[in-house]
């Protein structure tokens, strides 16, 4: 990794773009990997409420960004401003969490959210999709789109239920998924969810509710959660969100948000550098994240 004292004309700049970003651990992951793989690169935080494509990528008078991780609320923007779409998920969902500036000056968009989430689910329970599973996805934004698309494209044979406050976006996402695989998805308004979640096997929260600094009430009532559930909250700061804490109380199996953070970042790092991260560094990064977040 390049430090501020060793930046030179060949140093490449990467970063995370979103708003707000006080909670982000992406710099920890990427700068660690830049150091271990001896890359002349540095990863910075770009907290912007209203990002501008040309300031970030095109203006020769400023630092030129070679690649970006993109988070809430800019994933649809990231797809829209890209010159080329680099993968099917971004194209289908029109939402991207990764932007890469190629040598020809074109900005390519990708979505690694779904890959990260799918790997986290499979690591939690091997062969999880070998039997029919019903998945409830909370939210309809960029993260929900990437995760839902990768699940539908996988060997998954069950049904997906999208539940969100934004009915228009929720119905739109459901229709996109049904276009990929007919009758796989149904939209349920958040306020109309049944009193308990007995029809679901896996619950995935893709909303920012529960994130450090937010004061909204829990997205699900305690009565909704059951011991049979696998509960996956992609929020990782705090580690034990209200949803995760409620799931643990009833004895449900939990996937903590940093698992998706780690696996999607590994895919991003490969897009940034062409390097596939070894298992050794994946495990070392997991330990770093657990220490940082205070896992018990």
DSSP 58: I
Tokens 């020809």 — which residue? Answer: 104
Q: Which tokens in the block code for residue 38? A: 């001896």
- Reading across the β-sheet that carries 134-138, which strands appear in turn? 185-189, 159-164, 134-138, 202-205, 230-233, 253-255
230: nearest Cα among 217, 242, 248, 211: 248
DSSP 222: G
The secondary structure element, H or E, covering residue 8 is none
Tell how far CA 46 is from the center of its chain.
17
Tokens 């298992």 — which residue? Answer: 279
Rounded to whole angstroms, the Cα distance separating 29 from 264 reads: 11
Residues 216, 209 contacting (CB under 8 angstroms):
yes
Phi-psi region of 169 (alpha: psi -120 to 50; beta: other; left: phi over 0): alpha
Strands (E) located in 57-183: 65-70, 84-85, 98-101, 107-110, 134-138, 159-164
Which of the residues are catalytic? 75
């Amino acid at each position: 990794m390049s430090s501020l004292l060793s930046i030179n004309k060949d140093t490449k700049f990467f970063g995370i773009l979103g708003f707000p970003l006080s909670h982000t651990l992406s710099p920890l992951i990427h700068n660690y990997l830049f150091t271990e793989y001896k890359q002349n690169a540095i990863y910075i935080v770009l907290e912007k409420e209203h990002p501008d494509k040309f300031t970030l990528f095109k203006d020769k008078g400023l630092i030129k960004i070679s690649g970006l991780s993109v988070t809430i609320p800019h994933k649809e923007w990231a797809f829209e401003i890209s010159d080329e779409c680099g993968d099917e998920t971004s194209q289908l969902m029109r939402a991207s969490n990764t932007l890469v500036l190629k040598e020809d000056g074109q900005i390519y968009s990708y979505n690694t959210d779904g890959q990260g989430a799918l790997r986290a689910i499979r690591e939690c329970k091997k062969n999880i999709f070998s039997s029919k599973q019903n998945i409830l996805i909370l939210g309809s934004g960029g993260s929900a789109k990437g995760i839902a698309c990768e699940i539908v494209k996988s060997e998954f044979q069950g049904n997906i239920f999208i539940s969100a406050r934004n009915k228009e976006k929720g119905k739109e996402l459901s229709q996109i998924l049904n276009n990929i695989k007919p009758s796989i998805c149904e939209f349920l308004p958040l306020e109309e969810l049944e009193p308990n979640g007995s029809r679901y096997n896996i619950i995935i929260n893709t909303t920012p509710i529960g994130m450090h600094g937010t004061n909204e009430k829990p997205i699900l009532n305690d009565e909704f959660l059951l011991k049979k559930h696998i509960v996956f909250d992609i929020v990782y700061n705090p580690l034990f969100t209200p949803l995760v804490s409620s799931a643990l109380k009833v004895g449900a199996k939990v996937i903590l948000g940093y698992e998706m953070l780690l696996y999607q970042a590994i895919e991003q790092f490969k897009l940034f550098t062409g390097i596939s991260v070894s298992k050794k560094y994946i495990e070392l990064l997991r330990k770093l994240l657990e220490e940082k977040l205070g896992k018990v």
